[in-house]
């Protein structure tokens, strides 16, 4: 692989309309078609001419947009020229396939060239057995930080961090610091702050670069370092917490420390963006019963991914059907019940899913904590009560008019009222309990909730009708 790292001071020629001012930075559609045509014709020279000037994120885009059979062809044709960063930009569902096409040796070379965090992100997806084989192909100096990061728990700050840090003692002057930066060879590629450490290598201050540049050379670091916003992050905490920390404190970079508080790496805000989006997206997809983004997967893999949740839905609805079947005799006498019963279940289910969604999100963003749980539950009970009354009145009246039966309207209103009240209770309690038990509320809460609102809805409506109308 030839690594298209930024070349300092060399102006690269730009492909017209691609890496230029184009605001959206979208891959031009004709380009995908040109590559497809060239691949179909087996014209690898043409393919290379199109792909070579692209930005790594455009290459990832291109691969995603190609037909599955063309993806492999493109990667094999260009594997000696692709910039390694495209692997990280690629949708996770396609990475394994692409890594396979690249081959183990080239993959190892890519890992060695990437930032440690990016390399770890890629090798995490490799099966444990093959992982060691790939690592063995990397030279020791590049391998060491990857292995060190892999020692931290999955999704921890330790895996996210860059082990390369710039740290200086408090006693240094601005001049000494600048000279050190000018003469030092092993600095990270990019950095926005220098950390100031004590004799035990524990971070005690941060020095944003703009502050160093604005100060005169004799100024001592101790006098200009920032202490207020310094937020050392334990390497073992979950990346989700790191994301909240960066958001809450508007951090740009933070030092990562080991159990003894010693500086072991740094996390920067751009590492956090993907974490924050991933976490939000995960909840979003899980709540609808989709385990991962699957746009680029083939139909059969997508169908299999979604099957599990649909099986759960089927079991739920069968349970609801069993409830209905207990009242077959009642329905036979008053067929209007069959017409109206989906309304009771649907209103409870939808109101409940509103509550579940808000609760799942509030748990994820830590808006709900131990301190306000009770208040949130109590509030949702009141919301369910208010909307329950509103819709019970509307629909009870409509049903009474529709079927010319006041008592039927009353039964419908009572069942709706109670089911919507229940949706407020269940909509908060189910995610809260799942969360407390250590589960993912976004996955479990939806099916549980709709089962309860369906079962309760049908039972209340048909049961009340049996008692009152028959």
Q: Which of residues 213-252 bind a copy of itself (CB under 8 A)?
A: 213-216, 222-229, 231-234, 237, 241, 244-252
Q: What phi and psi, each to the nearest 5 degrees, are found at residue 156?
A: -95, 165
Measured from the CB atom, the residue of 135 and 294 that comes closer to a copy of itself is 294
- Taking the complex as a whole, the smallest distance from the CB of residue 414 to a copy of itself amounts, in Å, to 17
Which of 49, 69, 133, 328 touches a copy of itself (CB under 8 A)? 328
- Taking the complex as a whole, the smallest distance from the CB of residue 296 to a copy of itself amounts, in Å, to 7
Question: Residues 379-398: x/- map of binding to a copy of itself (CB under 8 A)?
Answer: x--xx--xx--xx--xx--x
- Taking the complex as a whole, the smallest distance from the CB of residue 448 to a copy of itself amounts, in Å, to 14
Which of 90, 122, 358, 460 touches a copy of itself (CB under 8 A)? 358
Instruction: Determine the size of the site formed for a copy of itself (CB under 8 A).
Output: 147
Residues 283-312 that bind a copy of itself (CB under 8 A): 283-285, 287-290, 293-296, 298-300, 302-303, 306-307, 309-310
In the sheet with 253-257, reading across from the earlier edge strand, the strands are 233-234, 253-257, 263-268
- Report the candidate in 164, 123, 107 with the shortest Cα–Cα distance to residue 141: 164
Query: Exposure of 154 by Cβ count < 10 A (0-12 exposed, 13-18 middle, 19+ buried)?
Result: exposed
Which residues, listed in sequence order, are joined to residue 205 by a DSSP beta bridge? 196
Which of 75, 82, 114, 351 touches a copy of itself (CB under 8 A)? 351
Q: Quick check: 13 binds a copy of itself (CB under 8 A)?
A: no
- Report the candidate in 175, 109, 165 with the shortest Cα–Cα distance to residue 142: 109
Q: Are strands 263-268 and 253-257 parallel, antiparallel or unpaired?
A: antiparallel
SS3 310: helix
Q: Quick check: 167 binds a copy of itself (CB under 8 A)?
A: no
Distance, in Å, from the CA atom of 299 to the CA atom of 305, rounded to the nearest integer, reads 10
- Taking the complex as a whole, the smallest distance from the CB of residue 130 to a copy of itself amounts, in Å, to 27
Distance, in Å, from the CA atom of 54 to the CA atom of 18, rounded to the nearest integer, reads 7
SS3 408: helix
Residues 138-157 that bind a copy of itself (CB under 8 A): none
Which of 190, 401, 406, 436 touches a copy of itself (CB under 8 A)? 190
CB 316 within 8 A of CB 299: no
- Taking the complex as a whole, the smallest distance from the CB of residue 339 to a copy of itself amounts, in Å, to 5
Among 75-83, 127-135, 142-150, 204-212, the segment contacting a copy of itself (CB under 8 A): 204-212
Residues 94-123 that bind a copy of itself (CB under 8 A): none
Alpha-helical (H) ranges within 42-139 are 44-51, 56-65, 68-78, 86-89, 92-102, 104-113, 116-123, 128-136
- Taking the complex as a whole, the smallest distance from the CB of residue 54 to a copy of itself amounts, in Å, to 12
């Amino acid at each position: 692989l030839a690594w298209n790292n930024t070349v300092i001071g060399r102006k690269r020629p730009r492909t017209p309309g691609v890496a230029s001012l184009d605001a959206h930075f979208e891959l031009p559609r004709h380009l995908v078609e040109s590559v497809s045509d060239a691949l179909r014709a087996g014209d690898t020279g043409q393919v290379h001419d199109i792909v070579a000037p692209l930005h790594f994120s455009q290459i990832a885009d291109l691969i995603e947009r190609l037909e599955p059979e063309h993806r492999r062809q493109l990667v094999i044709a260009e594997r000696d020229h692709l910039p390694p960063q495209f692997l990280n930009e690629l949708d996770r569902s396609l990475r394994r396939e692409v890594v396979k096409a690249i081959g183990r040796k080239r993959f190892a070379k890519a890992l060695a060239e990437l930032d440690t965090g990016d390399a770890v992100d890629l090798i995490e997806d490799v099966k444990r057995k093959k992982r060691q084989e790939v690592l063995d192909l990397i030279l020791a100096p590049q391998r060491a930080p990857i292995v060190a990061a892999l020692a931290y728990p999955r999704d921890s700050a330790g895996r996210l961090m860059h082990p390369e840090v710039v740290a200086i003692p408090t006693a240094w002057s601005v001049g000494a610091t600048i000279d050190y930066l000018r003469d030092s060879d092993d600095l990270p590629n990019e950095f926005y702050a220098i950390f100031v450490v004590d004799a035990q290598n524990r971070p005690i201050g941060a020095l944003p670069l703009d502050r160093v540049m604005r100060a005169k050379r004799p100024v001592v670091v101790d006098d200009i370092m920032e202490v207020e916003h310094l937020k050392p992050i334990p390497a073992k905490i979950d990346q989700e917490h790191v994301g909240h920390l960066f958001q809450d404190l508007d951090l740009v970079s933070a030092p990562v420390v080991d159990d003894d508080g010693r500086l072991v790496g740094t996390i920067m805000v751009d590492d956090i963006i993907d974490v924050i989006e991933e976490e939000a997206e995960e909840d979003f997809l899980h709540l609808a019963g989709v385990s991962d983004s699957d746009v680029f997967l083939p139909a059969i893999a997508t169908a299999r991914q979604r099957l599990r949740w649909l099986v759960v839905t089927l079991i739920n609805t069968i349970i609801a059907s069993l409830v209905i079947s207990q009242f077959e005799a009642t329905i036979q006498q008053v067929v209007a019940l069959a017409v109206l019963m989906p309304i009771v279940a649907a209103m409870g289910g939808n109101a409940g899913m509103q509550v579940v969604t808000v609760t799942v999100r509030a748990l994820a963003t830590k808006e709900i904590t131990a301190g306000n749980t009770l208040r949130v539950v109590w509030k949702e009970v009141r919301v369910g009560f208010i909307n329950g009354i509103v819709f019970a009145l509307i629909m009870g009246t409509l049903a009474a008019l529709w079927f010319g039966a006041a008592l039927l309207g009353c039964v419908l209103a009572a069942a709706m009222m109670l089911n919507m009240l229940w949706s407020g209770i269940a909509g908060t309690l189910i995610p809260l309990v799942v969360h407390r038990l250590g589960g993912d509320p976004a996955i479990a809460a939806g099916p549980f909730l709709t089962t309860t609102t369906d079962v309760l809805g049908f039972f209340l409506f048909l049961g009340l009708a049996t008692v009152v109308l028959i």
